[in-house]
Structure 1
Amino acid sequence: MMNDTQQLFQPSEPATGNWISIGHPAVAEICSEGFDFVVIDTEHTAMGLETIENMLRAVHDDTASIVRIPSNDPVRIKRVLDLGVAGLMIPMIETGEQAEQAVKAMQYPPEGTRGVAPARASDYGRTFGEYFETADDELVTVLQIETKRGVENAEDIVSVDGVDAVIIGHGDLSASLDIFGEWTDERFESALDSIVTAAQDNGKPVGMLATDHEGIHRWVDAGVDFLLVGADIAYLSAGSDAAREEFEELVGK
């Protein structure tokens, strides 16, 4: 049920991901083909646990499934982990204390606080003993730094033991800096560099999401270790617009 992503997220070892926001198993099946990992977003979508579970069934076996949960909530963390994910992405982490809380929620006692029960993650209990022994080491904890306060505390966040990787939420970060979408603004570039440097100095890989070719080049140039190179809704809207525009150009509409 669980992919081993510990080797996937390593500093200076590029991994390629795809972002999924549309809650249908067919989308998960299509968008996981050929990728190292996918992120299923439940922070800004209407997906419930049943939808997530069915999408996990559709993700290709050699692709790691990571779910972004809505908040640093130990109850939500527990319930999504029980579905059988490879790891979680936890948004809006702003302090070392919040990072520690996330790590504890990801781990079973005595190190952590995750509730103990058989579920899909342990083949409905068939392999629960093995899962209990290995889950803490195999599950990946990816924290999002995406606010001015998070940048200020980036060193504290990435130095927490059990944080496997960080991802920079560039949209929220630019909004927090009052320069939304201004990727070349000196304040944004300084904040971005600060997070990348802090993460890599602590041996933690850092990633980002790109939604177009320009973004892929921009964030690779920024020095990230892994990249989500697109999103389902971006592919769908871009393809739809391009087809309509091509027709309208041909008929002079």
Structure 2
Amino acid sequence: MSDSSTLRRRLRDGDSVVGHWLSVAHPAVAEVCAREADFAVVDTEHAPTDLADVANVARAVESAGEAALLARVADNDPVRIKRVLDTGVSGVLVPMVESAEEARRAVEATRYPPEGVRGIAGSRANDYGRNLAAQVRGDEGTPAVVLQIETDEAVAEARDIAAVEGVDALLVGPADLSGSLGVFGEYESDRFRETVESVLARAHDADTPVGTLATDESEIRLWADYGYDYQIVGTDAGYLADGAERARLTYEDAMR
């Protein structure tokens, strides 16, 4: 498993770590992005990414340097969490968490007994069993746990969610949260800003950092103004699309 200790420590220390979102799930794309990040997130919720893809992305990110890799699971399911952790990722991003009890279940799914419910087996995460005992003891590092706040219900419970032992950070999902509030995509609206500010205040009461996902440069600046502690600053698919569009527009302008 990639070492999660540095990412967990830096989040807790309040460092402005920067990440990239991986939805293409190709190792070469992941390797390129990981060289420009402290961490990356490979998506298995809204992207057609299977476990073999996650394992290959993990290999690519490890080869690129020091970046940690989180996997966003499809839901707060201990089996899904166990399976992505066995690929060797540094931790998980869990969507749609709405209560402290759900937060505890997510943490327990990443911990071996007696602290948690993660099944014990040889896997890539422990060098195919060679380091299994050390991993169970915790010598190989504890997986990072980041929980998504995406609904009005989650906002109300954000302080209790953030205070659960083992939760390293929260991440506001701007699309889902704005949709839940009835202001989808209206990120500069008073209602959305006030809601985000309440999440930040409640999580900070528990000394837990809060981040979010930006999809362009204007959002990076907007989220910085909001006061987020860290950001995922774009998506691999977005980078490809933006680059392709810029090249086409440059060509069309040159040919006029």
Whole-angstrom CA distance in 2 between matches of 1:23 and 1:228: 16
Match of 2:215 in 1: 211
Match of 1:128 in 2: 132
Whole-angstrom CA distance in 2 between matches of 1:146 and 1:11: 24
Return the TM-score normalized by structure 1.
0.96
Q: Share of identical aligned residues, percent?
A: 44
Whole-angstrom CA distance in 1 between matches of 2:148 and 2:88: 21
CA contact (8 A) 1:166 1:206 kept: yes
Whole-angstrom CA distance in 2 between matches of 1:137 and 1:190: 37
CA contact (8 A) 1:93 1:99 kept: yes
State the shift of 1:250 in Å: 2.5
Match of 2:194 in 1: 190
State the shift of 1:203 in Å: 0.8
Superposed CA RMSD in Å reads 1.3
Match of 2:171 in 1: 167
Change (3 A) 1:166 1:136: farther
CA displacement 1:111-165 (0-9 Å, x = unmatched): 1111111111111111111111117962110000011111111112111111111
SS at match of 2:9: coil
Return the TM-score normalized by structure 2.
0.95
Whole-angstrom CA distance in 2 between matches of 1:220 and 1:72: 29
In structure 2, stretches of 5+ residues that fail to align are: none
State the shift of 1:11 in Å: 4.7
Match of 2:17 in 1: 15
The one-letter code matched in structure 1 to 2:177 is L
CA contact (8 A) 2:110 2:116 kept: yes
Match of 2:29 in 1: 27
Whole-angstrom CA distance in 2 between matches of 1:135 and 1:68: 24
Whole-angstrom CA distance in 1 between matches of 2:105 and 2:25: 28
Match of 1:75 in 2: 79
CA contact (8 A) 1:216 1:229 kept: yes
Match of 1:241 in 2: 245
Match of 2:2 in 1: 2
User: After the TM superposition, which segments of 4 or more aligned residues of structure 1 sit over 3 Å from their partners?
Assistant: none
CA contact (8 A) 1:8 1:36 kept: no
Match of 1:108 in 2: 112
The one-letter code matched in structure 1 to 2:234 is G
CA contact (8 A) 2:172 2:212 kept: yes
Whole-angstrom CA distance in 2 between matches of 1:51 and 1:138: 23
SS at match of 1:214: helix
Whole-angstrom CA distance in 2 between matches of 1:143 and 1:69: 11
